[in-house]
Amino acid sequence: MKGLKRATGMAAAAVMAASLSVCAWAAEAKAEYAFTTGENTITVGEYADVVLGKLGDANDVKILTNCANGGKDKAYIYDDFDVYTTQDEKKNTVVESIILKSDKVATEEGLKVGQTPADVKKIYPGATESMGLYTVVLGDTQIVVDCGFANDKVVSISYENYVAE
């Protein structure tokens, strides 16, 4: 009888532990897309000085023309991705977009440049497609996957701000 009580108690404890794990996992659900490179996680809208400080020196920096803020946008070019910055409504310089351009980096969900549209659909089943561009939205962010004019392979992956229409 004691053995049965002990087994029942252990089973109940296991069920409680499993349900706590599921609750903790659900509480950690992602609110937005983020790009991770090495130990650094970057999100669109984050202050650029913080991001660029984490990433270190870029291979090249390009100044981009933007009539909205007097041409203060910049592109920071790294080996496998680019970080584009702009000024927000408060004149803070923030990350506007992150573009993955090689198969040496991937989204947190595992998508890389060079994969196929079928891979995009498998990894992001809710993505909408228009003329070879696959878009998936999470919170205030979106990932836009460019599969080229032939719509045959991923040529770039872009993290962008999402504004609902």
Question: 42-95 pLDDT, tens per residue?
Answer: 999 999 999 999 999 999 999 988 777 676 799 999 999 999 999 888 889 999
CATH architecture, range 35-161:
3-Layer(aba) Sandwich (3.40)
pLDDT given at position 3 = 53
Extents of the domains making up the chain = 1-28, 35-161
Kindly report the average pLDDT of the chain as a whole number: 86
- 132-163, pLDDT tens digit by residue? 999 999 999 999 999 998 889 999 999 999 88
Span 100-125, pLDDT tens digits: 999 999 999 999 999 999 999 999 99
Q: Is 6 helix (H, G, I), strand (E, B) or coil?
A: helix
136-142, Cβ contacts within 8 angstroms, sequence gap of 24 or more:
137/162, 138/30, 138/31, 138/32, 138/33, 139/30, 139/31, 139/32, 139/33, 140/32, 140/44, 140/45, 141/32, 141/33, 141/34, 141/43, 141/44, 141/45, 142/33
- Whole-number percent of the chain with pLDDT over 70: 82
164: confidence class by pLDDT, cuts 50, 70, 90: confident
pLDDT per residue over 16-36, tens digit each? Answer: 444 444 444 444 678 999 999
